[in-house]
Amino acid sequence: MIEIAANSSHHMRGAQEYLRILRRRKWAIWIPVAAAMMISTFLYMQAQPHYVAEVVIALDVRRVQVLPADAVVSPLPQDSPVLRTELDVISSRTMADRVIDILEHTGYQPADIAPPLVETSRDKIERWIGDGWRTLVEEPAPDPAEPQSDAAEGPTRRDMIDRLLDNVQVSNDGRSYTIFISYTSGDPEFSAAVANAFGEAYLSYQASVQSEATRQASEWLGAKLDDLRQRLETSEAAAERFRRDAGLIESDGQTLETQRINALNIELVQARSSRADAEARLETAKALSQSEGGLDNFAQVLGSATIQALRAEQAKVERGLSELQDTGAVKSSQLPSLKSQLESLKQQIAGEVQRVLKSLDNELDVARRKENALQAAFQEAEADLTKTSNARVQLNQLEREATADRTIYETYLNRYKQTIEQEGYAVREARMVSKAEPPSMPASPKLVPYAGLGLLAGLGLGFGLALLRESLDDRVRSPDDLEKMIGLPVIDLVPRIRRVKRPAAVSAFVVDQPRSAFSEAIRALRSTLQLAPATRRAQVLMFTSVHPGEGKTSLAVSLARSAARTGLKAIVVDADLRKPAIAAQFGTPAALPVPDVSGAAQSLEDAIQVDPRSQAHFIAPASFGDSLDCVLGGAYLREALPKLRKRYDLIILDTAPASTSTDAAQLGALADAVILVVRWGRTNTEAVATTVRQLAFRGIPVSGVILNGVPPGRQSRYESGFLPQWPPEIDQPRPPDVRGQGIGLVKEA
């Protein structure tokens, strides 16, 4: 948690530092922003207006089914790759060529479709550069009198296609089957005409694809049918010829051999039945013939007309004989005759019965012979059928080939008829949902993009320039960075006072405006000097700076006045005899030169002056020119300081800047603490470090640094209180905020 808090604090300090840099370098940012905005405004005003017209086409997921047959061209699958392909088709050169035909048909000229380009400022510059380069390499300029190329006479077909494709945009939202075709042009009427032409070209393209596919399919099917018809005729003729040659002629679906075998089989069955019947009759007759009169009731016997006539005559004779016998005429002359007739009739009947038996035997023999003949014929037919089995297999193969050819032919014939019926009817799989209308407002240029681009470019350039200047600027702008650089604490941040015309007015703030931020900073400085370990017991403070004009004199006088107003005895000694400024700060003339007060007490008393506004004392000798070494080499300050220590609680020595003379190094040994005043945003950090090193080399350690002239808002004294940054080697707790309290400096005994 501690690490996270430390990282957050570090990032916050980094962000605040960037904000301070941006505030400090605001003009480096706003000037590029203003320049970029002016350039973007100029470009916006010079830009040619462009109008965008859009036509909306939707791929139809529903299909109008007029004919029951399937179409030659299958419907478009409704998926993303197919939709992407349709977008590419619309934005193709072939489609642009169709659009040119439509535009020319509606009355547009090639110059309207691809007008000559307007020469912009950039084109002029490039032309000037090109002319200059042509002059350098001694290339002759084109002669206006010479005939120009065809490109100069007018735009070619390729130029028109390129112009259309450069300005058309075909898109889809990725969530529907809707295609958006937009065209950008400087003429709103022309942009709408081109967008509509693209839509019409795409719809006619779909219809032409189906019509062309149907026509090509019908032509191909017609040619294929001729080939299939010839193949079918050839295969059927081969099968018929082989059937005829092999004797495999059929009737009622059966070959002659099969019909013959079937007929012979039927006759053979009948012959066998007749033979069996004859055998049965003959056997029955033979069995009945063994007994007397057994054949009388035999069917063949009973069915014989001769036998029936003989039997009728026998019955008549027997009846006549019986009548004679019944009358008793035994000796009648008719009786022998009747008996003889009866015997003759019986013999005739017996002979007829034998003939019946003989006929049955003959019938049996005939039946057997017929059966044997039919059996032989059947076997012969079976042998013939066996011989033609191989021919039958070949015939079946030929018939199957002919059947397959007929099936294919009929399939192609049906498809050909369906295709012929579909010719002239094309179903478009897209419809124009919305036609393009001439736009009333230009789509570009828009002020917001130009302004936004100019603002972003200006801000980017300004931020880069500000950071570059900040990286190249080594002036003191951060107390933390200064402390890390020189290893000394920054004991106070003194705010800058604006609108001050005279230097004396700065030190007068602690008197005139005691509630001001400057007065508060002086009181905080007094408290810090009281509490800081390096200056806690310091009675003599020496104020110096790196360069002139950093405000050390104003701070010394302001500190003396602030201490005097709290009841302390404070005195400021002007030790910068080359350019003394203490008298000007107090608003009084300078005293006599230093040699006249070279050590006598009376002379020292005469040199001390009193500030009537704060009761602070000061010594302000007149300028002594180049004889300061004599004064400092004498006993003036060395003898005067012990006397001043007994009389004053706080003694402030205002010396010359360390970079302009060695006065600070010579007077530093007489002071208890040396305070280095650095001007915020003016003094270089490296110069401060060099001054500190030079003073330390001469045995004069600097106790602390005061940052003077801090811009308002750079330090948050009123919001969070300002406490000095203690050096890391001082292991003491930070004292409480005692701003406004008295210094309470302790005199040395």
Give residues with Cβ within 8 angstroms of 215, minimum separation 6: 423
pLDDT at position 608: 87
How much is the average pLDDT of 556-576?
Answer: 90
How far apart are the C-alpha atoms of 274 and 262, rounded to whole Å? 18
Using CA atoms in the order 339, 340, 346, 350, what is the torsion angle rounded to 10 degrees? 160
pLDDT-above-90 percentage for the chain: 8
pLDDT at position 716: 46
How much is the average pLDDT of 341-352?
Answer: 74
How far apart are the C-alpha atoms of 307 and 288, rounded to whole Å? 16
> Judging by DSSP bridges, how do beta strands 617-619 and 673-679 pair with one another?
unpaired
* Helical H segments across 185-333, by residue range: 188-246, 256-289, 299-303, 305-327
Instruction: Name the region of 499 (left: φ>0; alpha: ψ -120 to 50; beta: rest).
Output: left
pLDDT at position 676: 92
The angle, 0 to 180 degrees and rounded to 10, between the axes of the packed helices 389-422 and 334-387 is 60
Q: Is 560 a residue whose pLDDT tops 80?
A: yes
Give residues with Cβ within 8 angstroms of 472, minimum separation 6: none
How much is the average pLDDT of 206-234?
Answer: 83
Proportion of the chain in helix, strand, coil states, percent, rounded to 5:
60, 10, 30
What Cα–Cα distance (Å) separates residue 109 from each residue in 54, 160, 360, 461?
Answer: 22, 10, 118, 47
How far apart are the C-alpha atoms of 401 and 338, rounded to whole Å? 89
The residue among 672 and 250 whose pLDDT is bigger is 672
Using CA atoms in the order 331, 332, 335, 336, what is the torsion angle rounded to 10 degrees? 70
pLDDT at position 153: 62
Contact criterion met (CB below 8 Å) for 554 and 507:
yes
Contact criterion met (CB below 8 Å) for 544 and 552:
yes
Q: Is 195 a residue whose pLDDT tops 60?
A: yes
pLDDT at position 571: 93
pLDDT at position 182: 92
Three-state SS string over 557-608 comes to HHHHHHHHHCCCCEEEEECCCCCCCHHHHHCCCCECCHHHHCCCHHHHHHHE
Q: Which domains does the chain have, with CATH numbers?
A: 25-47+446-473 (no CATH), 51-206+435-445 (no CATH), 255-387 (no CATH), 475-720 (3.40.50.300)
How far apart are the C-alpha atoms of 543 and 529, rounded to whole Å? 13
pLDDT at position 738: 33
Burial label for 224, CB within 10 Å (0-12, 13-18, 19+), is: middle
pLDDT digits 0-9 by tens, 487-516: 888 888 888 887 666 656 677 888 888 888
pLDDT digits 0-9 by tens, 398-451: 888 888 988 998 888 888 887 777 666 666 778 888 888 888 888 777 778 878
pLDDT at position 674: 92
Q: Which two tokens stand for residue 639?
A: 């003898």
Q: Report the range out of 276-290, 429-443, 628-642 with the highest average pLDDT.
A: 429-443
How far apart are the C-alpha atoms of 67 and 500, rounded to whole Å? 100
pLDDT digits 0-9 by tens, 60-73: 755 545 455 555 55
Closest CA to 169 of 452, 431, 436: 436
The residue among 296 and 197 whose pLDDT is bigger is 197
Q: Report the range out of 4-8, 74-78, 302-306, 450-454 with the highest average pLDDT.
A: 450-454
pLDDT-above-70 percentage for the chain: 73
pLDDT at position 736: 37
Quick count: other Cβ atoms within 10 Å of Cβ 710? 22
How much is the average pLDDT of 197-219?
Answer: 83
Q: What is the mean pLDDT of the chain?
A: 75
How far apart are the C-alpha atoms of 577 and 593, rounded to whole Å? 9
How far apart are the C-alpha atoms of 243 and 398, rounded to whole Å? 10
pLDDT digits 0-9 by tens, 360-388: 778 778 888 888 887 888 787 777 777 67
Q: Is 317 a residue whose pLDDT tops 80?
A: no
Q: Report the range out of 336-340, 470-474, 703-707 with the highest average pLDDT.
A: 703-707
How much is the average pLDDT of 271-280?
Answer: 79
pLDDT digits 0-9 by tens, 105-151: 888 888 878 776 544 444 544 544 455 444 444 445 555 555 444 44
Contact criterion met (CB below 8 Å) for 335 and 321:
yes
| Lateral strand order in the sheet of 617-619 | 490-495, 704-710, 673-679, 540-545, 650-654, 570-574, 617-619, 608-610
